[in-house]
Structure 1
Amino acid sequence: MVDSCRVFSHDHLGNMFSVILFPHRWIFEMQEAWHDGNSIGFGSDSEDARGIDHQPAIAGAYFAAKIGIAEYLMEKKIQAAVLVLREIRPEYAVPVGVWQIRESIRAAMKKEPYIAESFDDGIRFASKRMSVSKSEWLSRGRLLKMLRQKSISDFF
Protein backbone atom coordinates (compact mmCIF):
# COMPACT_ATOMS: atom_id res chain seq x y z
CA MET A 1 0.00 0.00 0.00
CA VAL A 2 1.27 3.48 -0.81
CA ASP A 3 2.39 5.13 2.44
CA SER A 4 1.35 8.72 1.71
CA CYS A 5 -0.81 10.85 -0.53
CA ARG A 6 1.23 11.76 -3.60
CA VAL A 7 0.34 14.24 -6.32
CA PHE A 8 2.02 14.01 -9.72
CA SER A 9 1.51 16.73 -12.34
CA HIS A 10 2.30 17.29 -15.99
CA ASP A 11 1.15 19.73 -18.66
CA HIS A 12 1.28 18.93 -22.38
CA LEU A 13 -0.35 20.33 -25.53
CA GLY A 14 -2.95 22.38 -23.66
CA ASN A 15 -3.76 19.55 -21.25
CA MET A 16 -3.14 19.79 -17.51
CA PHE A 17 -2.88 16.47 -15.67
CA SER A 18 -2.83 15.76 -11.94
CA VAL A 19 -2.58 12.22 -10.59
CA ILE A 20 -3.40 11.74 -6.91
CA LEU A 21 -2.37 8.45 -5.28
CA PHE A 22 -3.50 7.80 -1.74
CA PRO A 23 -3.55 4.91 0.75
CA HIS A 24 -6.65 2.82 0.12
CA ARG A 25 -7.63 -0.36 -1.66
CA TRP A 26 -7.75 -0.09 -5.47
CA ILE A 27 -10.11 2.57 -6.76
CA PHE A 28 -9.42 4.35 -10.02
CA GLU A 29 -11.26 7.42 -11.24
CA MET A 30 -10.45 9.77 -14.09
CA GLN A 31 -12.25 13.05 -14.55
CA GLU A 32 -11.99 15.38 -17.52
CA ALA A 33 -13.01 19.01 -17.78
CA TRP A 34 -12.82 20.53 -21.23
CA HIS A 35 -13.21 24.17 -22.16
CA ASP A 36 -15.10 24.96 -25.36
CA GLY A 37 -14.53 28.69 -25.08
CA ASN A 38 -17.80 29.53 -23.32
CA SER A 39 -18.38 26.75 -20.82
CA ILE A 40 -16.79 23.69 -19.28
CA GLY A 41 -17.96 20.15 -20.02
CA PHE A 42 -17.26 17.23 -17.72
CA GLY A 43 -16.83 13.49 -18.11
CA SER A 44 -15.59 10.73 -15.84
CA ASP A 45 -15.19 7.00 -15.39
CA SER A 46 -14.30 4.95 -12.33
CA GLU A 47 -13.79 1.42 -11.08
CA ASP A 48 -12.95 -0.54 -7.98
CA ALA A 49 -11.19 -3.90 -7.68
CA ARG A 50 -14.05 -5.57 -9.55
CA GLY A 51 -13.33 -3.46 -12.63
CA ILE A 52 -15.41 -0.95 -14.52
CA ASP A 53 -19.12 -1.71 -14.20
CA HIS A 54 -20.55 0.57 -16.88
CA GLN A 55 -20.04 1.57 -20.49
CA PRO A 56 -17.03 3.94 -20.39
CA ALA A 57 -17.83 7.60 -21.07
CA ILE A 58 -14.23 8.72 -21.65
CA ALA A 59 -13.07 5.27 -22.75
CA GLY A 60 -9.78 5.80 -24.59
CA ALA A 61 -8.55 8.52 -22.25
CA TYR A 62 -9.46 6.44 -19.19
CA PHE A 63 -7.58 3.35 -20.31
CA ALA A 64 -4.59 5.36 -21.60
CA ALA A 65 -4.20 7.03 -18.19
CA LYS A 66 -4.75 3.79 -16.31
CA ILE A 67 -1.92 1.97 -18.08
CA GLY A 68 0.66 4.62 -17.19
CA ILE A 69 -0.37 4.56 -13.55
CA ALA A 70 -0.53 0.75 -13.41
CA GLU A 71 3.04 0.62 -14.75
CA TYR A 72 4.17 2.94 -11.94
CA LEU A 73 2.38 0.97 -9.23
CA MET A 74 3.75 -2.31 -10.56
CA GLU A 75 7.30 -0.95 -10.71
CA LYS A 76 7.06 0.34 -7.12
CA LYS A 77 5.20 -2.82 -5.99
CA ILE A 78 2.52 -0.80 -4.24
CA GLN A 79 -1.26 -0.50 -4.28
CA ALA A 80 -3.16 2.77 -4.10
CA ALA A 81 -6.41 4.50 -4.85
CA VAL A 82 -6.05 6.89 -7.77
CA LEU A 83 -7.77 10.06 -8.91
CA VAL A 84 -6.72 11.51 -12.27
CA LEU A 85 -7.78 15.05 -13.13
CA ARG A 86 -7.40 16.28 -16.70
CA GLU A 87 -8.23 19.84 -17.66
CA ILE A 88 -8.37 20.38 -21.41
CA ARG A 89 -7.62 24.03 -22.14
CA PRO A 90 -8.93 26.00 -25.16
CA GLU A 91 -5.48 25.89 -26.80
CA TYR A 92 -5.95 22.12 -27.31
CA ALA A 93 -7.65 22.86 -30.62
CA VAL A 94 -6.85 19.69 -32.55
CA PRO A 95 -7.16 16.40 -30.62
CA VAL A 96 -4.14 14.21 -31.35
CA GLY A 97 -5.31 10.93 -29.84
CA VAL A 98 -5.00 9.02 -26.61
CA TRP A 99 -1.26 8.45 -27.06
CA GLN A 100 -0.66 11.95 -25.66
CA ILE A 101 -2.66 11.05 -22.53
CA ARG A 102 -0.72 7.81 -22.03
CA GLU A 103 2.63 9.56 -22.53
CA SER A 104 1.67 12.58 -20.40
CA ILE A 105 0.69 10.31 -17.50
CA ARG A 106 3.94 8.36 -17.88
CA ALA A 107 5.84 11.67 -17.83
CA ALA A 108 3.94 12.81 -14.72
CA MET A 109 4.74 9.56 -12.90
CA LYS A 110 8.47 10.08 -13.53
CA LYS A 111 8.46 13.45 -11.77
CA GLU A 112 8.98 14.05 -8.08
CA PRO A 113 5.53 14.09 -6.45
CA TYR A 114 4.14 16.59 -4.00
CA ILE A 115 3.67 14.68 -0.73
CA ALA A 116 0.34 15.78 0.69
CA GLU A 117 -0.70 15.54 4.33
CA SER A 118 -4.03 13.96 3.37
CA PHE A 119 -6.26 13.23 0.39
CA ASP A 120 -8.02 16.56 1.02
CA ASP A 121 -4.66 18.37 0.91
CA GLY A 122 -3.74 16.45 -2.25
CA ILE A 123 -6.86 17.40 -4.16
CA ARG A 124 -6.57 20.98 -2.91
CA PHE A 125 -2.99 21.12 -4.25
CA ALA A 126 -3.97 19.52 -7.58
CA SER A 127 -6.99 21.74 -8.20
CA LYS A 128 -5.14 24.91 -7.15
CA ARG A 129 -3.25 24.85 -10.46
CA MET A 130 -6.42 24.34 -12.51
CA SER A 131 -9.45 26.52 -13.20
CA VAL A 132 -11.84 23.87 -11.83
CA SER A 133 -12.33 24.03 -8.06
CA LYS A 134 -11.78 21.18 -5.62
CA SER A 135 -15.49 21.05 -4.78
CA GLU A 136 -16.42 20.95 -8.47
CA TRP A 137 -14.07 18.02 -9.14
CA LEU A 138 -15.37 16.12 -6.11
CA SER A 139 -19.03 16.71 -6.95
CA ARG A 140 -18.60 15.43 -10.52
CA GLY A 141 -17.20 11.99 -9.72
CA ARG A 142 -18.08 8.83 -7.84
CA LEU A 143 -14.89 8.70 -5.78
CA LEU A 144 -16.29 10.04 -2.50
CA LYS A 145 -19.19 7.59 -2.65
CA MET A 146 -16.78 4.73 -3.34
CA LEU A 147 -14.56 5.79 -0.42
CA ARG A 148 -17.53 5.79 1.96
CA GLN A 149 -18.47 2.23 1.03
CA LYS A 150 -17.70 -0.10 3.91
CA SER A 151 -15.58 -3.19 3.48
CA ILE A 152 -15.71 -6.37 5.55
CA SER A 153 -12.60 -5.29 7.47
CA ASP A 154 -14.49 -2.24 8.77
CA PHE A 155 -16.53 -4.58 10.98
CA PHE A 156 -13.59 -6.30 12.72
Structure 2
Amino acid sequence: MSICVKCGGRKLLCGLRRCPIEDRVAAFKIALRRSWGLEVFGSTPPAAVVGEAGWPAVSVYFGEPPDVFGEEARFYDDPTSMWGLPLEEIARRRSYMAFGVKRAKSPWELGELPYVYISAKPVDVEMRFAKAPLPQIRFDLFEKPMGPRAPLERARVVENPSVPPPLDRLIWDDVSASEAAVELYARGVDIYTIQRAFSLGLLGARHRRRLVPSRWGITAVDVAVGNWLAGRVRTLPEVGGILYGYGEYLDNRYLVAVVPGPLRFVYLERWQSGGEVAEILVKEDVRGARSAMDGGFEAARVALLEKLASMGRRGSVAVVRWIGEGYYVSVGNWQIRETVRRIQLRPMDEEYRRYVERVGRDPLDLLPRGRALTDFLS
Protein backbone atom coordinates (compact mmCIF):
# COMPACT_ATOMS: atom_id res chain seq x y z
CA MET A 1 0.00 0.00 0.00
CA SER A 2 3.00 2.39 0.50
CA ILE A 3 3.48 2.60 -3.26
CA CYS A 4 -0.17 3.69 -3.55
CA VAL A 5 0.42 6.52 -1.06
CA LYS A 6 3.39 7.76 -3.07
CA CYS A 7 1.53 7.45 -6.35
CA GLY A 8 -1.84 8.92 -5.42
CA GLY A 9 -3.33 7.25 -8.49
CA ARG A 10 -1.54 9.63 -10.84
CA LYS A 11 1.83 8.08 -11.70
CA LEU A 12 0.75 4.44 -12.00
CA LEU A 13 3.86 3.29 -10.16
CA CYS A 14 2.36 -0.19 -9.80
CA GLY A 15 2.69 -0.69 -13.56
CA LEU A 16 -1.04 -1.16 -14.19
CA ARG A 17 -2.79 0.63 -17.03
CA ARG A 18 -5.37 2.16 -14.70
CA CYS A 19 -5.58 2.81 -10.98
CA PRO A 20 -7.95 0.22 -9.47
CA ILE A 21 -8.35 2.23 -6.27
CA GLU A 22 -9.48 5.35 -8.15
CA ASP A 23 -11.99 3.27 -10.13
CA ARG A 24 -13.38 1.71 -6.95
CA VAL A 25 -13.57 5.01 -5.06
CA ALA A 26 -15.48 6.62 -7.94
CA ALA A 27 -18.06 3.81 -7.79
CA PHE A 28 -18.26 4.09 -3.99
CA LYS A 29 -18.96 7.83 -4.23
CA ILE A 30 -21.82 7.32 -6.67
CA ALA A 31 -23.37 4.56 -4.54
CA LEU A 32 -23.10 6.52 -1.30
CA ARG A 33 -24.49 9.69 -2.87
CA ARG A 34 -27.54 7.89 -4.24
CA SER A 35 -28.23 5.57 -1.30
CA TRP A 36 -29.83 8.36 0.76
CA GLY A 37 -28.05 7.68 4.03
CA LEU A 38 -29.33 4.67 5.94
CA GLU A 39 -31.77 3.35 3.32
CA VAL A 40 -31.30 1.68 -0.05
CA PHE A 41 -34.01 0.67 -2.49
CA GLY A 42 -33.31 -1.39 -5.57
CA SER A 43 -33.51 -4.90 -7.04
CA THR A 44 -31.37 -7.87 -6.06
CA PRO A 45 -29.15 -8.99 -9.01
CA PRO A 46 -29.17 -11.39 -6.96
CA ALA A 47 -25.95 -10.90 -5.00
CA ALA A 48 -25.36 -12.71 -1.70
CA VAL A 49 -21.96 -13.58 -0.25
CA VAL A 50 -21.40 -15.80 2.78
CA GLY A 51 -18.16 -15.05 4.63
CA GLU A 52 -15.73 -17.49 6.25
CA ALA A 53 -14.49 -15.81 9.44
CA GLY A 54 -15.86 -17.37 12.64
CA TRP A 55 -17.69 -20.26 10.97
CA PRO A 56 -20.26 -21.64 11.78
CA ALA A 57 -21.45 -18.13 12.80
CA VAL A 58 -20.60 -16.06 9.73
CA SER A 59 -21.37 -12.72 8.14
CA VAL A 60 -23.78 -12.80 5.21
CA TYR A 61 -23.63 -9.90 2.75
CA PHE A 62 -26.86 -9.10 0.91
CA GLY A 63 -26.29 -6.71 -1.98
CA GLU A 64 -28.32 -4.55 -4.32
CA PRO A 65 -27.52 -1.59 -6.59
CA PRO A 66 -29.28 1.57 -5.34
CA ASP A 67 -32.06 2.79 -7.65
CA VAL A 68 -31.51 -0.02 -10.16
CA PHE A 69 -34.59 -2.16 -10.78
CA GLY A 70 -35.76 -5.19 -12.74
CA GLU A 71 -33.64 -7.02 -15.27
CA GLU A 72 -31.07 -4.22 -15.35
CA ALA A 73 -29.96 -5.34 -11.86
CA ARG A 74 -28.72 -8.66 -13.28
CA PHE A 75 -25.79 -6.88 -14.90
CA TYR A 76 -24.33 -6.09 -11.47
CA ASP A 77 -23.58 -9.66 -10.38
CA ASP A 78 -24.95 -12.31 -12.76
CA PRO A 79 -22.06 -14.24 -14.41
CA THR A 80 -23.83 -15.03 -17.67
CA SER A 81 -24.85 -11.36 -18.03
CA MET A 82 -21.45 -9.93 -17.08
CA TRP A 83 -19.21 -12.19 -19.15
CA GLY A 84 -17.48 -10.11 -21.81
CA LEU A 85 -17.33 -6.89 -19.76
CA PRO A 86 -13.86 -5.44 -19.07
CA LEU A 87 -12.38 -5.96 -15.61
CA GLU A 88 -12.70 -2.29 -14.66
CA GLU A 89 -16.44 -2.30 -15.46
CA ILE A 90 -17.07 -5.47 -13.44
CA ALA A 91 -15.22 -4.00 -10.45
CA ARG A 92 -17.14 -0.73 -10.85
CA ARG A 93 -20.52 -2.46 -10.87
CA ARG A 94 -19.68 -4.64 -7.86
CA SER A 95 -18.35 -1.60 -6.02
CA TYR A 96 -21.53 0.36 -6.73
CA MET A 97 -23.73 -2.16 -4.92
CA ALA A 98 -24.57 -1.54 -1.25
CA PHE A 99 -24.37 -4.57 1.05
CA GLY A 100 -26.36 -5.17 4.22
CA VAL A 101 -24.59 -7.50 6.65
CA LYS A 102 -26.20 -9.99 9.05
CA ARG A 103 -24.43 -12.56 11.20
CA ALA A 104 -25.98 -16.02 11.53
CA LYS A 105 -25.37 -19.77 11.66
CA SER A 106 -28.40 -21.11 9.78
CA PRO A 107 -30.74 -19.85 7.05
CA TRP A 108 -33.65 -19.89 9.50
CA GLU A 109 -32.10 -16.90 11.30
CA LEU A 110 -32.27 -14.77 8.12
CA GLY A 111 -36.03 -14.76 7.54
CA GLU A 112 -37.14 -14.56 3.92
CA LEU A 113 -33.92 -13.03 2.57
CA PRO A 114 -32.32 -16.34 1.47
CA TYR A 115 -35.32 -16.99 -0.80
CA VAL A 116 -34.93 -13.56 -2.37
CA TYR A 117 -31.38 -14.37 -3.39
CA ILE A 118 -32.23 -17.65 -5.12
CA SER A 119 -35.04 -16.06 -7.13
CA ALA A 120 -35.04 -16.69 -10.88
CA LYS A 121 -35.71 -12.99 -11.42
CA PRO A 122 -34.59 -9.83 -9.59
CA VAL A 123 -36.70 -8.88 -6.58
CA ASP A 124 -37.28 -5.35 -5.27
CA VAL A 125 -35.97 -4.99 -1.71
CA GLU A 126 -35.73 -1.99 0.57
CA MET A 127 -32.86 -2.24 3.05
CA ARG A 128 -32.27 -0.11 6.13
CA PHE A 129 -28.83 -0.08 7.72
CA ALA A 130 -27.99 0.29 11.40
CA LYS A 131 -25.38 2.88 10.43
CA ALA A 132 -24.11 4.56 7.30
CA PRO A 133 -22.49 2.05 4.92
CA LEU A 134 -18.73 2.35 4.54
CA PRO A 135 -16.52 1.28 1.64
CA GLN A 136 -13.65 -1.14 2.16
CA ILE A 137 -10.92 -1.43 -0.43
CA ARG A 138 -9.11 -4.74 -0.71
CA PHE A 139 -7.31 -6.07 -3.75
CA ASP A 140 -6.46 -9.74 -3.86
CA LEU A 141 -7.29 -12.77 -5.96
CA PHE A 142 -9.49 -14.36 -3.30
CA GLU A 143 -12.13 -11.73 -2.50
CA LYS A 144 -14.37 -10.21 -5.16
CA PRO A 145 -14.84 -6.42 -5.16
CA MET A 146 -17.66 -5.32 -2.85
CA GLY A 147 -19.37 -1.97 -2.43
CA PRO A 148 -20.18 -0.02 0.74
CA ARG A 149 -21.46 -2.24 3.55
CA ALA A 150 -23.09 -1.85 6.97
CA PRO A 151 -25.05 -3.95 9.49
CA LEU A 152 -28.55 -4.64 8.17
CA GLU A 153 -31.25 -3.39 10.53
CA ARG A 154 -34.19 -4.59 8.50
CA ALA A 155 -35.20 -5.50 4.95
CA ARG A 156 -38.61 -5.11 3.33
CA VAL A 157 -39.24 -7.47 0.41
CA VAL A 158 -41.60 -5.71 -1.99
CA GLU A 159 -42.53 -8.66 -4.20
CA ASN A 160 -42.52 -12.43 -3.99
CA PRO A 161 -39.36 -14.28 -5.08
CA SER A 162 -39.66 -16.60 -8.07
CA VAL A 163 -37.93 -19.76 -6.80
CA PRO A 164 -37.49 -22.52 -9.44
CA PRO A 165 -40.01 -25.30 -8.58
CA PRO A 166 -37.41 -28.12 -8.25
CA LEU A 167 -35.43 -25.96 -5.83
CA ASP A 168 -38.53 -24.94 -3.89
CA ARG A 169 -39.33 -28.62 -3.34
CA LEU A 170 -35.81 -29.60 -2.27
CA ILE A 171 -35.62 -26.75 0.26
CA TRP A 172 -38.22 -28.67 2.28
CA ASP A 173 -36.76 -32.10 1.52
CA ASP A 174 -34.25 -34.05 3.58
CA VAL A 175 -31.62 -35.25 1.08
CA SER A 176 -27.90 -34.49 1.27
CA ALA A 177 -26.76 -31.14 -0.12
CA SER A 178 -24.59 -32.81 -2.79
CA GLU A 179 -27.46 -35.03 -3.96
CA ALA A 180 -29.74 -32.01 -4.08
CA ALA A 181 -27.21 -30.04 -6.14
CA VAL A 182 -26.94 -32.84 -8.70
CA GLU A 183 -30.72 -33.30 -8.92
CA LEU A 184 -31.24 -29.56 -9.46
CA TYR A 185 -28.56 -29.41 -12.15
CA ALA A 186 -30.04 -32.45 -13.92
CA ARG A 187 -33.42 -30.70 -13.89
CA GLY A 188 -31.97 -27.64 -15.60
CA VAL A 189 -31.61 -25.25 -12.66
CA ASP A 190 -28.84 -22.70 -13.27
CA ILE A 191 -25.59 -23.72 -11.56
CA TYR A 192 -25.16 -20.25 -10.03
CA THR A 193 -28.59 -20.47 -8.40
CA ILE A 194 -27.62 -23.88 -7.01
CA GLN A 195 -24.37 -22.44 -5.62
CA ARG A 196 -26.20 -19.63 -3.83
CA ALA A 197 -28.79 -22.04 -2.41
CA PHE A 198 -25.98 -24.30 -1.18
CA SER A 199 -24.09 -21.42 0.49
CA LEU A 200 -27.24 -19.99 2.05
CA GLY A 201 -27.89 -23.33 3.75
CA LEU A 202 -31.08 -24.13 1.86
CA LEU A 203 -30.01 -27.64 0.82
CA GLY A 204 -29.21 -30.75 2.86
CA ALA A 205 -30.60 -32.56 5.90
CA ARG A 206 -32.97 -30.07 7.52
CA HIS A 207 -31.78 -30.65 11.09
CA ARG A 208 -28.19 -29.89 10.05
CA ARG A 209 -28.66 -26.84 7.85
CA ARG A 210 -25.78 -24.41 8.17
CA LEU A 211 -24.58 -21.43 6.18
CA VAL A 212 -21.64 -22.39 3.97
CA PRO A 213 -18.95 -19.82 3.04
CA SER A 214 -19.42 -18.89 -0.61
CA ARG A 215 -15.98 -20.04 -1.72
CA TRP A 216 -16.58 -23.46 -0.15
CA GLY A 217 -20.10 -23.73 -1.52
CA ILE A 218 -19.15 -22.83 -5.09
CA THR A 219 -16.42 -25.45 -5.19
CA ALA A 220 -18.62 -28.07 -3.48
CA VAL A 221 -21.31 -27.67 -6.14
CA ASP A 222 -18.72 -27.83 -8.95
CA VAL A 223 -17.33 -31.04 -7.44
CA ALA A 224 -20.75 -32.67 -7.01
CA VAL A 225 -22.00 -31.72 -10.49
CA GLY A 226 -18.63 -32.53 -12.07
CA ASN A 227 -18.51 -35.99 -10.49
CA TRP A 228 -22.03 -36.72 -11.73
CA LEU A 229 -21.11 -35.61 -15.26
CA ALA A 230 -17.87 -37.62 -15.10
CA GLY A 231 -19.84 -40.76 -14.28
CA ARG A 232 -21.77 -40.29 -17.52
CA VAL A 233 -18.78 -39.29 -19.68
CA ARG A 234 -16.56 -42.25 -18.59
CA THR A 235 -18.74 -44.72 -20.51
CA LEU A 236 -18.82 -42.75 -23.77
CA PRO A 237 -16.72 -43.59 -26.87
CA GLU A 238 -13.27 -41.99 -27.12
CA VAL A 239 -12.60 -38.88 -29.19
CA GLY A 240 -11.30 -39.79 -32.65
CA GLY A 241 -8.08 -37.78 -32.40
CA ILE A 242 -6.39 -34.94 -30.53
CA LEU A 243 -8.62 -31.87 -30.10
CA TYR A 244 -7.42 -28.40 -29.11
CA GLY A 245 -9.25 -25.32 -27.91
CA TYR A 246 -8.32 -21.80 -26.85
CA GLY A 247 -10.11 -18.99 -25.05
CA GLU A 248 -9.20 -15.77 -23.30
CA TYR A 249 -10.86 -13.21 -21.04
CA LEU A 250 -9.66 -10.63 -18.48
CA ASP A 251 -5.99 -11.42 -19.21
CA ASN A 252 -6.70 -15.08 -18.44
CA ARG A 253 -5.82 -17.39 -21.34
CA TYR A 254 -6.89 -21.01 -21.56
CA LEU A 255 -5.44 -23.78 -23.69
CA VAL A 256 -7.22 -27.16 -23.71
CA ALA A 257 -6.28 -30.49 -25.28
CA VAL A 258 -8.37 -33.67 -25.33
CA VAL A 259 -6.63 -36.86 -26.46
CA PRO A 260 -8.00 -40.39 -26.92
CA GLY A 261 -7.89 -42.33 -23.67
CA PRO A 262 -9.67 -42.77 -20.35
CA LEU A 263 -11.28 -39.76 -18.70
CA ARG A 264 -8.71 -37.94 -16.57
CA PHE A 265 -7.53 -34.37 -16.11
CA VAL A 266 -4.35 -32.36 -15.75
CA TYR A 267 -4.65 -28.66 -14.88
CA LEU A 268 -1.66 -26.32 -14.98
CA GLU A 269 -2.11 -22.76 -13.72
CA ARG A 270 0.66 -20.28 -14.57
CA TRP A 271 0.84 -16.82 -12.95
CA GLN A 272 2.84 -14.08 -14.66
CA SER A 273 4.24 -11.26 -12.49
CA GLY A 274 7.03 -9.19 -13.97
CA GLY A 275 9.60 -11.66 -15.16
CA GLU A 276 8.55 -14.33 -12.67
CA VAL A 277 6.19 -17.25 -13.30
CA ALA A 278 4.52 -19.30 -10.54
CA GLU A 279 2.74 -22.58 -11.25
CA ILE A 280 0.06 -24.76 -9.67
CA LEU A 281 -0.45 -28.29 -10.99
CA VAL A 282 -3.54 -30.43 -10.25
CA LYS A 283 -3.95 -33.99 -11.54
CA GLU A 284 -7.02 -36.20 -11.47
CA ASP A 285 -6.62 -39.91 -12.21
CA VAL A 286 -9.06 -42.27 -13.94
CA ARG A 287 -10.80 -42.97 -10.60
CA GLY A 288 -11.46 -39.27 -10.03
CA ALA A 289 -8.86 -38.85 -7.24
CA ARG A 290 -7.32 -35.35 -7.25
CA SER A 291 -3.75 -34.49 -6.28
CA ALA A 292 -5.09 -31.26 -4.71
CA MET A 293 -8.39 -29.45 -4.21
CA ASP A 294 -8.49 -26.25 -6.24
CA GLY A 295 -11.53 -24.12 -7.06
CA GLY A 296 -10.16 -23.00 -10.42
CA PHE A 297 -9.57 -26.59 -11.51
CA GLU A 298 -13.08 -27.64 -10.46
CA ALA A 299 -14.67 -24.74 -12.38
CA ALA A 300 -12.74 -25.61 -15.57
CA ARG A 301 -13.43 -29.33 -15.09
CA VAL A 302 -17.21 -28.98 -14.87
CA ALA A 303 -17.25 -26.78 -17.99
CA LEU A 304 -15.20 -29.30 -19.97
CA LEU A 305 -17.30 -32.24 -18.75
CA GLU A 306 -20.38 -30.40 -20.00
CA LYS A 307 -18.67 -30.05 -23.36
CA LEU A 308 -17.64 -33.71 -23.59
CA ALA A 309 -21.12 -34.84 -22.55
CA SER A 310 -22.67 -32.70 -25.28
CA MET A 311 -20.21 -34.17 -27.82
CA GLY A 312 -20.96 -37.73 -26.67
CA ARG A 313 -17.22 -38.44 -26.30
CA ARG A 314 -14.62 -38.97 -23.61
CA GLY A 315 -10.87 -38.44 -23.49
CA SER A 316 -7.91 -37.42 -21.37
CA VAL A 317 -7.95 -33.67 -20.81
CA ALA A 318 -5.09 -31.20 -20.25
CA VAL A 319 -5.73 -27.54 -19.41
CA VAL A 320 -3.32 -24.62 -19.09
CA ARG A 321 -4.58 -21.41 -17.50
CA TRP A 322 -2.18 -18.49 -17.95
CA ILE A 323 -2.89 -15.48 -15.72
CA GLY A 324 -1.37 -12.15 -16.71
CA GLU A 325 -0.75 -8.98 -14.73
CA GLY A 326 -3.92 -7.42 -16.14
CA TYR A 327 -5.99 -9.66 -13.84
CA TYR A 328 -5.29 -7.59 -10.74
CA VAL A 329 -8.74 -8.02 -9.09
CA SER A 330 -10.49 -11.37 -8.74
CA VAL A 331 -14.04 -11.50 -10.09
CA GLY A 332 -14.59 -15.11 -9.02
CA ASN A 333 -14.29 -18.56 -10.57
CA TRP A 334 -17.30 -17.89 -12.77
CA GLN A 335 -14.99 -16.26 -15.33
CA ILE A 336 -13.10 -19.58 -15.60
CA ARG A 337 -16.29 -21.59 -15.97
CA GLU A 338 -17.89 -19.23 -18.50
CA THR A 339 -14.74 -18.76 -20.62
CA VAL A 340 -14.05 -22.50 -20.83
CA ARG A 341 -17.71 -23.12 -21.68
CA ARG A 342 -17.22 -20.92 -24.74
CA ILE A 343 -14.09 -22.71 -25.99
CA GLN A 344 -14.53 -24.66 -29.21
CA LEU A 345 -12.58 -27.91 -29.47
CA ARG A 346 -11.18 -28.66 -32.93
CA PRO A 347 -8.43 -30.78 -34.54
CA MET A 348 -4.98 -29.26 -34.99
CA ASP A 349 -5.57 -28.73 -38.70
CA GLU A 350 -5.50 -25.84 -41.17
CA GLU A 351 -8.65 -24.35 -39.65
CA TYR A 352 -6.95 -24.22 -36.26
CA ARG A 353 -3.86 -22.58 -37.77
CA ARG A 354 -6.05 -19.92 -39.40
CA TYR A 355 -7.65 -19.38 -36.00
CA VAL A 356 -4.20 -18.84 -34.46
CA GLU A 357 -3.43 -16.23 -37.10
CA ARG A 358 -6.74 -14.49 -36.40
CA VAL A 359 -6.22 -14.19 -32.63
CA GLY A 360 -2.65 -13.00 -33.21
CA ARG A 361 -0.89 -15.45 -30.89
CA ASP A 362 -0.12 -19.14 -30.75
CA PRO A 363 -1.94 -20.62 -27.73
CA LEU A 364 0.84 -23.21 -27.44
CA ASP A 365 3.11 -20.38 -26.29
CA LEU A 366 1.32 -20.58 -22.93
CA LEU A 367 3.17 -23.82 -22.19
CA PRO A 368 6.43 -24.07 -20.27
CA ARG A 369 9.30 -23.95 -22.73
CA GLY A 370 10.04 -27.27 -24.35
CA ARG A 371 6.84 -28.96 -23.19
CA ALA A 372 3.91 -30.12 -25.31
CA LEU A 373 0.46 -29.95 -23.76
CA THR A 374 -0.02 -33.69 -24.22
CA ASP A 375 3.22 -34.31 -22.27
CA PHE A 376 1.29 -33.57 -19.08
CA LEU A 377 -0.95 -36.57 -19.77
CA SER A 378 1.94 -39.04 -20.09
| Global fold match (TM > 0.5) | yes
Please state if 1:81 is matched with 2:316. yes
Structure 1 position 5, deviation (Å): 0.6
Q: Cα gap change, 1:134/1:8 in structure 2, threshold over 3 Å: closer, same or farther?
A: farther
TM-score calculated relative to the size of structure 1: 0.74
Q: Cα gap change, 1:7/1:90 in structure 2, threshold over 3 Å: closer, same or farther?
A: same
**2:296 aligned partner, one-letter code:** A
Please state if 1:133 is matched with 2:369. yes
Question: Hey, what does 1:51 align to over in structure 2?
Answer: 288
Structure 2: how far apart are the matches of 1:82 and 1:126? 16
Question: Hey, what does 2:328 align to over in structure 1?
Answer: 93
CA RMSD of aligned residues (A): 2.2
**1:133 aligned partner, one-letter code:** R
Please state if 1:28 is matched with 2:261. no
Contact 2:247–2:254 under 8 Å retained in 1: yes
Structure 2: how far apart are the matches of 1:83 and 1:38? 25
TM-score calculated relative to the size of structure 2: 0.32
Flag as ranges the 4+ runs of structure 1 deviating above 4 A.
Answer: 136-139
Q: Which runs of 5+ in 2 are unaligned?
A: 1-237, 350-361
Contact 1:11–1:17 under 8 Å retained in 2: yes
Structure 1 position 55, deviation (Å): 3.3
Describe how 1:114-125 pairs up with structure 2 within 5 A.
114-116=346-348
For residues 42-74 of structure 1, the C-alpha deviation after alignment (integer angstroms, 9 at most, x for no partner) is: 001111221124332xx1000000000000111
Structure (1 or 2) with the larger CA radius of gyration: 2
Contact 1:31–1:137 under 8 Å retained in 2: no
Question: Which of 241, 261, 265 is matched with 1:4 structurally?
Answer: 241
Structure 1 position 134, deviation (Å): 4.4
Partner SS for 2:318: strand
Question: Which of 65, 89, 96 is matched with 2:300 structurally?
Answer: 65
Structure 1 position 133, deviation (Å): 2.5
- Tell me the matched-pair count: 129
Q: Cα gap change, 1:5/1:137 in structure 2, threshold over 3 Å: closer, same or farther?
A: closer
Q: Cα gap change, 1:131/1:47 in structure 2, threshold over 3 Å: closer, same or farther?
A: closer
Taking CA–CA contacts closer than 8 Å with sequence separation of 6 or more, which of the two structures ends up with the larger relative contact order?
1
- Structure with higher strand content: 1
Question: Identity percentage over the alignment?
Answer: 26
Structure 2: how far apart are the matches of 1:23 and 1:80? 5
Q: Cα gap change, 1:138/1:8 in structure 2, threshold over 3 Å: closer, same or farther?
A: closer
